Structure 1
């Protein structure tokens, strides 16, 4: 029924040389083939990280406030479009080269949002309970309002332009997690956890020593959470399972080592390049996530051209509504201005939300990231049922509304069951962050938001 990899390799060698290969030749061919594949994805991912790092340094040196990764995304998209018009074969080769790195990013995408959620217990200590309740109401009510406004806008424009919906480009799903990965990360966790107890500064500092087991517990939590049954994941999203896993590990280590929970969570994000924590490693991929948007949009460029009116109008309306409604509601419920500023980009993916709040003085990046992820969790759990109850059937409206109100997590939740909505989710996911960032980069818009906040 099936042909093994060795048999296929053997046939390939035989067809090329005319001789029957030996077992050693077959094994060597298979080994080198696997090695090339591994080197390919490492090189493509490393190049994305390198581009992000270089852009950051250039923008910092030039004191440019605009997000460097977003500029890089625009550049990559423009280059791909120009190559597609002039030399399509080079554009295709460009896409094929980066494809393994992009698959890695999309496979682990939710994991890159986790770090600020893990250290949320440290961030919320300074937030009074009354303010926390107000923020929770803004998260839930704001998500629902943004979902409705975006969906109704997309549907209204869709009816006005009457563009026929054609078959969408298929989107490749990342491979599932294997048992080998589970056992490998389990081994890293157990060995590093025990070693950290007996040798607390074995790697120079406690943050470095705690890094392996805190990272392993985060990754394991995500893998196990992803393998839970669908009815469980509808209640406990993998990213929530992942967060609990990391916090529980920090608590157990703090208890056994008698250092306490707070210091161990402090090792999770150090914001120091010379002394990074597990969270810093994961956050280091956020720039490459933004760069990957360029490839997603290029893949769906035909769809973007055909349905530009629906997509761009609804995303622009959604971005403006989300920012100004959050500022207004924060003022009406008398939420502290610094907290209102911190939650302004609640519907924008973490990678760009952090860039947005950096434009405002007094904003707390940890709170911003946590609120963004919590908004995504709300959307991931309720987006499909809410859209069904509101009777939104059009895949364009469903996809754009899901991504614009709950960014990547809403996208993942809806597209898992509705592949036809995924292209619109991917486009809106990127464009929503782009428009939000561009808007907040305009001084007049920032001043108007601050005036509303008070």
Structure 2
């Protein structure tokens, strides 16, 4: 008996289960097999599902083979359904990506087309007022009118243009870069002494404008004593991906080699050099954006971007034996019929101004609540910036044409170029470069300077930063102090708007010229 028990225990795991370990009745092996009807899943070649009735013969009811067959059929059904679901999700994801891309193209295309149409209309009518600024006022008026009558329509309009606004926000620094890339051409005829005077005006003027805007905001806030409330959240663009980096790297290599082997393959030298010069600019910006924050304080992404484009131009100039200056001339031709990479990038500056309408509308409640602080600070800071620049230029003996060129140093590039167009003899390339350098100074030193001056209020910090260092200063401060971003964005837009408006008045221009001498 002991031996039998041992043998039985050894083979127990391999025996058929009994009623005690599975809780199912023992099959009656004496019962005859019978025919049963079961529903089996049929999967035809077209991928659709049909149920077909078949006759199957089993050993007995509740037998192990019937249960195994049922389980395998269920698993096959689940696998087929999972495969179908996976392909469906992939198809849905692809469709969503295509729809988003089309949405971006259409919304951005409308803004660019509007800017181009307004430019042509203003040129045809011989109107010197900035066309993009007029368009911005029109968009803002339409949004406000819709918000007061059909709020849902205003919201829908904002949502429709949101992809374009995020695109502009994401690539905004690139639109400033061309003036830095061609800086060697802009300053080659400027004496070294005049260059030092311009640097003094940039640094000293930035600090003075920052102090005036900040102290004005603090003084007005103490008088009105308006309580600060949370602003509307502002969506941030996505960071650059590795796919984008590799894609632009491929474009650069292919177009650089093609331009070297076939210098006029696209018709002109500027068009042939456009792809690799544009790619080098974009790659420099992507690389600079990935640098550690401590490195960015010294080596700003804009500087990295400009150096990348200049290095590409230098390499091509050496290989083609044409030299650096001609290639930089291909970068920014200022000719619509023969555009370069810089012309493409600066072509977005008008859309930046149009986008101000949407940002101001989004923060309209904040503007209304803190109107006294915002408008007073912006107006005083803008007037001070223009007239102090004219006065300092005369005191240090800077040439009148150069003083005019640096007048709008605290105003964003797009509107600064429009402002100097009101005057004769201005060097627009120098104007753009001075504006960008002012922004770089602010981006690197604004936070430390605000702390030294004792500006603790987010409203004062935001207004002071944007009024003195426009977009680049705004980006630098808001990255570490997001609570100041709405005030930066508002002051950034209003400073350019108010500066353009007052400079369009002949009496103001005459008074500035009288100070310059």
Same fold (TM over 0.5): yes
Q: Report whether the alignment pairs 1:93 with 2:156.
A: yes
1:110-125 residue pairs with structure 2 within 5 A? Answer: 110-125=173-188
Question: Quick one: distance in 1 between partners of 2:497 and 2:274?
Answer: 33
1:382-421 residue pairs with structure 2 within 5 A? Answer: 382-421=445-484
Question: Quick one: distance in 1 between partners of 2:499 and 2:96?
Answer: 44
Structure 2 runs not aligned, ≥5 long: 1-80
**Cα deviations across residues 338-369 of structure 1 (Å, max 9, x unaligned)?**
00000000000001000000000000100000
Q: Report whether the alignment pairs 1:233 with 2:299.
A: no
Aligned partner of 2:197 among 134, 137, 142: 134
**1:371: which partner in 2?**
434
Question: Quick one: distance in 1 between partners of 2:86 and 2:156?
Answer: 34
Determine helix, strand or coil for the equivalent of 1:436.
helix
Aligned partner of 1:355 among 412, 418, 422: 418
Aligned partner of 2:287 among 217, 220, 224: 224
**2:115: which partner in 1?**
52
Question: Quick one: distance in 1 between partners of 2:459 and 2:101?
Answer: 37
Q: In the comparison of the two structures, how many residue pairs are matched?
A: 437
**1:215: which partner in 2?**
278
**Cα deviations across residues 400-431 of structure 1 (Å, max 9, x unaligned)?**
00000000000000000000000000000000
Q: Report whether the alignment pairs 1:162 with 2:221.
A: no
Q: Identify the structure with the greater helix proportion.
A: 1
Determine helix, strand or coil for the equivalent of 1:276.
coil
1:3-42 residue pairs with structure 2 within 5 A? Answer: 22-42=85-105
Q: CA deviation at 1:34?
A: 1.1
Cα RMSD (Å)? 1.2
Determine helix, strand or coil for the equivalent of 1:274.
coil
Q: CA deviation at 1:91?
A: 0.2
Could you tell me the TM-score, scaled by structure 2's length? 0.84
Q: CA deviation at 1:168?
A: 1.5
Could you tell me the TM-score, scaled by structure 1's length? 0.95
**2:507: which partner in 1?**
444
**2:340: which partner in 1?**
277
> Which structure's relative contact order is higher, taking Cα pairs within 8 Å and 6+ residues apart?
1
Q: CA deviation at 1:20?
A: 9.9
Q: CA deviation at 1:451?
A: 0.3
Question: Quick one: distance in 2 between partners of 1:71 and 1:21?
Answer: 53
Structure label with greater radius of gyration: 2
Question: Quick one: distance in 2 between partners of 1:70 and 1:237?
Answer: 29
Structure 1 runs not aligned, ≥5 long: 1-17
**Cα deviations across residues 174-198 of structure 1 (Å, max 9, x unaligned)?**
1000000000000000111111111
Question: Quick one: distance in 1 between partners of 2:239 and 2:89?
Answer: 27
Question: Quick one: distance in 2 between partners of 1:393 and 1:443?
Answer: 39
Q: CA deviation at 1:81?
A: 0.7
Q: Report whether the alignment pairs 1:426 with 2:426.
A: no
Q: CA deviation at 1:24?
A: 3.8
Q: Report whether the alignment pairs 1:343 with 2:399.
A: no
Determine helix, strand or coil for the equivalent of 1:63.
coil
Q: CA deviation at 1:33?
A: 1.4
1:325-336 residue pairs with structure 2 within 5 A? Answer: 325-336=388-399
Determine helix, strand or coil for the equivalent of 1:167.
coil
Determine helix, strand or coil for the equivalent of 1:175.
coil
